[in-house]
Chains A and B, each alone.
Chain A
């Protein structure tokens, strides 16, 4: 069952989800002959955790890339905060308040954890090149203020002990956490996480789940996340979109999609015709 976009939505834990923040309408994305996304529509509402799931190659990352401007769909419209979004470069999307992490971790390897997270603040630091040179003091003040915010995020994600470490030297699990920290530093309206727990052990997964829930709770950040671990998805998300071979085959609360026959077939690997 797919919810009508106008209905107020009440989650399993009794919260009412807010207005539509991001609305994807009839998105189709092709790479040459391959249709990675086929005419998919869904919305993300304010304050919710929206999961996107599906088998490998279903088109989940592609969808996230469309939202963040890295891929440009051939067809369809992207509506953000009630306005149709014109074609935009990824950096412009970021400046609109959409932060993301990558499936294959994209950090600045040569820079320290602190510097990496500081780059997340760039969208909030608006002193220009010239004014930086002229009013050195003001630029310093801006730097210090943003630094304070970053330190809070570093504390929040419990990575104080590695603040000065070059990111390239960190183990995989911590890199994922630094990437989350950088995205959070932007204080995004919408946070996109592409498999934030892939390749982690059980303990790391639990930590990450806790962080994601805390971010959503404490800052009210809207989150869209891709995840393979069904247990995690069921625990974390308010609503789930299920993709398979570029199509949307399910959309609803975790319980609803779990009972959906098409979803079950996709996950059990029933032969496609």
Chain B
């Protein structure tokens, strides 16, 4: 096999793995959008916040340490303990559920039946609030996150491909782990929404609020539920990306990659989010590989958005969305 083709396959594999994670994050958006018509701009910052909280808990940081020290003239530096990763993840999840609950009871409850743009603006406000809160609670320095996921080149893949093609693929163990976990979660989310009564209630709310109320579904409960799921997804994404490149502000931007994924897949389509995620993941890696050098590199920053833009022109309803024909 020619080298170029082998490289391309390797790049595609890496793209697919990135894509599964995009798909997972996009699902977080889709669930909230379906259930409440809100495009949650804060999803990216939620991933950052979740990762910050996780690191903070694991390292035994005292929340609002700096603030407390300034106000009370104390000199606290951490609890002096470390929390095991698994327990810290559970605690972080509790924080994310509390956040979901607070968002609904403090903000969104008052905005029911408002225009989508108003709700969208509210989530922008939320994003910046959460960014500030994260800094205040845990400090704004870049942190490393290590929850014990395997890292480094996967020897088995490297050796096997070397024997087969004479060229060893470089696939990171962390990517493999992330892909597996994301794939499992995507499957669980889909199964949840299709085969459980809460999933059915969720789909019902997505379809018709009045009708959902009439069969005894509490909209608030469903909204807290979808925001909790989004928080969970954010946590997972935060762990994966945080483990890879440190917990820092740019993490919130990676999660916004879900935006072009949604334009491709349609904002309300679960299969769309999955396929869209894979297309963006593979597309941006292959594009960088093929044309990056000629275009001066760093195409991954913009490729997804441009692809989505081009796609929008031809199919505004997304891959799986239904064609909208205005009645006249």
Interface residues of A (CB under 8 A from B): 68, 70, 89-92, 94-95, 99-100, 102, 106-111, 115, 118-120, 122-123, 125, 127, 129, 132, 139, 142-143, 182-183, 186
What 5 A-B pairs come out closest when comparing CB atoms? A94-B216, A106-B211, A108-B207, A90-B213, A123-B216
Contact call A120/B200, Cβ cutoff below 8 A: no
Contact call A122/B203, Cβ cutoff below 8 A: no
What residue in chain B is nearest A146 (Cβ atoms)? B197
Q: Counting CB contacts under 8 A, is B114 at the interface?
A: no
Shortest distance from the beta carbon of A192 to any chain B beta carbon, whole Å: 9
Chain B residues closer than 8 Å to A132, beta-carbon distance: 196-198
Cα–Cα, bound, A115→B197 (Å): 10
Contact call B201/A89, Cβ cutoff below 8 A: no
B201's partner among A68, A70, A94, A119 (CB-CB below 8 A) is A119
What residue in chain B is nearest A97 (Cβ atoms)? B216
Contact call A119/B204, Cβ cutoff below 8 A: yes
Contact call A95/B197, Cβ cutoff below 8 A: no
Given A94-B214, A123-B216, also A108-B196 (CB < 8 A): no
A-B contact pairs, 27 of them (CB 8 A): A70-B210, A70-B213, A91-B212, A91-B217, A95-B216, A99-B214, A102-B214, A106-B210, A108-B207, A108-B208, A108-B211, A108-B212, A110-B203, A110-B206, A111-B200, A111-B204, A119-B204, A120-B215, A122-B200, A122-B201, A122-B217, A123-B215, A129-B198, A129-B225, A182-B215, A183-B214, A186-B215
Cα–Cα, bound, A90→B218 (Å): 9
What residue in chain A is nearest B205 (Cβ atoms)? A108
Given A109-B208, A111-B207, also A119-B215 (CB < 8 A): yes
Q: Counting CB contacts under 8 A, is B186 at the interface?
A: no
Q: Which of A99, A107, A119, A186 has the most CB of B within 10 A?
A: A119
Shortest distance from the beta carbon of B133 to any chain A beta carbon, whole Å: 27
Contact call A122/B225, Cβ cutoff below 8 A: no
Contact call B210/A122, Cβ cutoff below 8 A: no
Given A99-B214, A182-B215, also A119-B200 (CB < 8 A): yes
Cα–Cα, bound, A38→B204 (Å): 34
Q: Counting CB contacts under 8 A, is B219 at the interface?
A: yes
Q: Which of B211, B214, B218 has the most CB of A within 10 A?
A: B214
Contact call A91/B200, Cβ cutoff below 8 A: no
Count how many pairs of residues, one from A and one from B, have CB atoms less than 8 Å apart in the complex. Answer: 81
Shortest distance from the beta carbon of A4 to any chain B beta carbon, whole Å: 33
What residue in chain B is nearest A95 (Cβ atoms)? B216
Cα–Cα, bound, A6→B206 (Å): 45
A94's partner among B203, B204, B213, B219 (CB-CB below 8 A) is B213
Q: Which of A122, A125, A183 has the most CB of B within 10 A?
A: A122
Main secondary structure of the interface of B (DSSP, over half): helix
Cα–Cα, bound, A70→B214 (Å): 9
Cα–Cα, bound, A99→B203 (Å): 19
Contact call B214/A122, Cβ cutoff below 8 A: no
Cα–Cα, bound, A178→B122 (Å): 38
Cα–Cα, bound, A122→B216 (Å): 7
Chain A residues closer than 8 Å to B208, beta-carbon distance: 106-109
Given A91-B219, A143-B197, also A106-B214 (CB < 8 A): yes
Contact call A139/B196, Cβ cutoff below 8 A: yes
Chain B residues closer than 8 Å to A102, beta-carbon distance: 210-211, 214
Chain B residues closer than 8 Å to A119, beta-carbon distance: 200-201, 204, 212, 215, 217
Cα–Cα, bound, A95→B218 (Å): 10
Chain B residues closer than 8 Å to A110, beta-carbon distance: 203, 206-207
Given A89-B218, A125-B197, A139-B196, also A108-B213 (CB < 8 A): no
What residue in chain B is nearest A185 (Cβ atoms)? B215
Shortest distance from the beta carbon of A32 to any chain B beta carbon, whole Å: 17
Contact call B216/A108, Cβ cutoff below 8 A: no
Chain B residues closer than 8 Å to A95, beta-carbon distance: 216
Shortest distance from the beta carbon of B113 to any chain A beta carbon, whole Å: 13
Given A91-B219, A102-B210, also A111-B201 (CB < 8 A): no
Chain A residues closer than 8 Å to B213, beta-carbon distance: 70, 89-91, 94
Contact call B207/A122, Cβ cutoff below 8 A: no
Cα–Cα, bound, A109→B219 (Å): 18
Chain B residues closer than 8 Å to A127, beta-carbon distance: 197
Q: Mark B182-210, 1 if CB is under 8 A from A, else 0.
A: 00000000000000111011011011101
Cα–Cα, bound, A108→B201 (Å): 10
Q: Mark B171-184, 1 if CB is under 8 A from A, else 0.
A: 00000000000000
Cα–Cα, bound, A142→B196 (Å): 10
Contact call B211/A91, Cβ cutoff below 8 A: no
Cα–Cα, bound, A241→B216 (Å): 27
Contact call B211/A122, Cβ cutoff below 8 A: no
List 11 extra interface pairs beyond A89-B213, A90-B214, A100-B214, CB under 8 A.
A68-B214, A90-B213, A91-B217, A102-B210, A108-B212, A119-B215, A119-B217, A122-B200, A123-B216, A129-B198, A139-B196
